[in-house]
Structure 1
């Protein structure tokens, strides 16, 4: 089973404690979002999961294996698309597979078409809009052989309409392939619309304040954004983030 397990993770930079006793899981095919204030260590957590830096204490398991300090086990989509400017759309999409030693150009072309980018296979990143670049970046993650995808605020630079379209598109692709996703965002509505669960981080030194399992069925439709139940959950998450425990809703 493809599962990420974080056990009692902590990170220090000198005497400054950034993360404190972080424990959670992302199950096979699950979409989990992390919400927290700026500076709460979300990017540091991603760096540790990706093996860029090691935790000061605690353990990260992926599919039962300790991956502390080990790279190449996850696929990562950053806030900026980070496409290689000298490679075409098709060449960027298959980069992860190419590194792993096996390319599936037919599948890549199908994914590009599914993303509404048919005809842009030989285009270069500078010829694409911001939304198009993010689609290419996400397809690259879906095409990579790793079972876990980390998404670090991939839509934050997009306008509201493009962002809504990208959220709907991301879900449609994810529901076909069901890779496990850990998603960082500052946007409560985005987290509610996309996720199976939401993990709320405290301010630094960061701990997990609360974890919420969401009741919304899949596939998701943007009409839920206007329902009373959605607004109820939005207030609930907001109150958790704001730290006003006295006003927490009971359900």
Structure 2
């Protein structure tokens, strides 16, 4: 079942076409990563899906409902954690649920415990490390009632070891919930490790160059990075991006 469908999406800024006739589909429970050159329109695409921008042409469907220019339809996790500094960890993760007045404090506590944040439930964002803030932000996204989560390079500011830890943690949380995720990254290894499918965008105006279904079985661990199959897939994606 398709959760998100983009039909012939085009977007222009100051006469410059950023996205042109883009078509894409994301299925229920799928983890899809978007790779493309810097400035290719990836974040613009997220702004269109989130309703912050409206396409000049095309239709955005969420569960068969047209959401062009409509905010509040999806859950979004940006590059920075964007936690509210005056709210505790628990209050921050419950923020998305306040939209529906269906707070699930018990589930929030269970997820915070799995994230190793039980002792920080009543702490404030300034008391957390960068990785801890990103965990809180992702739990907030998972707990939000919307059917689709957009993750915009959420680990780009983290050091390499923390980033790998966060990737493994994200996978463990996602595999328990299997919500539909659309993920932006510049990192080929990250996309291969996390994704069911990878979509490659061209330079501006952005359109889809290639799509790859990733064959690695789940659950996955860091040993995957050392396999010849992983390295071959990395070369394949790299060559596609360089064209």
What whole-Å deviation, never above 9, does each CA across 1:32-53 have from its counterpart, x for those lacking one?
0000011000010000000011
Counterpart contact for 2:2–2:25, Cα < 8 Å: no
**Structure 1 spans left out of the alignment, 5+ residues:** 244-251
Asked if 1:68 corresponds to 2:83, the answer is: no
The alpha carbon displacement at 1:176 in A equals 0.6
Asked if 1:118 corresponds to 2:118, the answer is: yes
Counterpart contact for 1:19–1:205, Cα < 8 Å: yes
**Structure 2 spans left out of the alignment, 5+ residues:** none
The alpha carbon displacement at 1:99 in A equals 2.1
Name the CA distance, whole Å, in 1 between partners of 2:114 and 2:27: 26
Corresponding pairs, count: 243
**SS state of the match for residue 3, structure 1?**
strand
**SS state of the match for residue 119, structure 2?**
coil
Counterpart contact for 1:2–1:147, Cα < 8 Å: no
The alpha carbon displacement at 1:101 in A equals 1.5
The alpha carbon displacement at 1:2 in A equals 5.7
Asked if 1:231 corresponds to 2:241, the answer is: no
Partner of 1:200: 200
The runs of at least 4 consecutive aligned structure 1 residues that moved more than 4 Å come to none
Partner of 1:242: 242
**Which has the larger displacement, 5-14 or 121-130?**
5-14
Counterpart contact for 2:35–2:186, Cα < 8 Å: yes
Question: For 1:1-251, what aligned pairs fall within 5 Å after superposition?
Answer: 1=1, 3-243=3-243
RMSD (Å) for aligned C-alpha atoms: 0.8
Counterpart contact for 1:85–1:124, Cα < 8 Å: yes
**SS state of the match for residue 126, structure 1?**
helix
Name the CA distance, whole Å, in 2 between partners of 1:2 and 1:22: 16
Name the CA distance, whole Å, in 2 between partners of 1:55 and 1:116: 41
Name the CA distance, whole Å, in 2 between partners of 1:232 and 1:107: 40
**SS state of the match for residue 51, structure 1?**
coil
Name the CA distance, whole Å, in 1 between partners of 2:189 and 2:203: 20
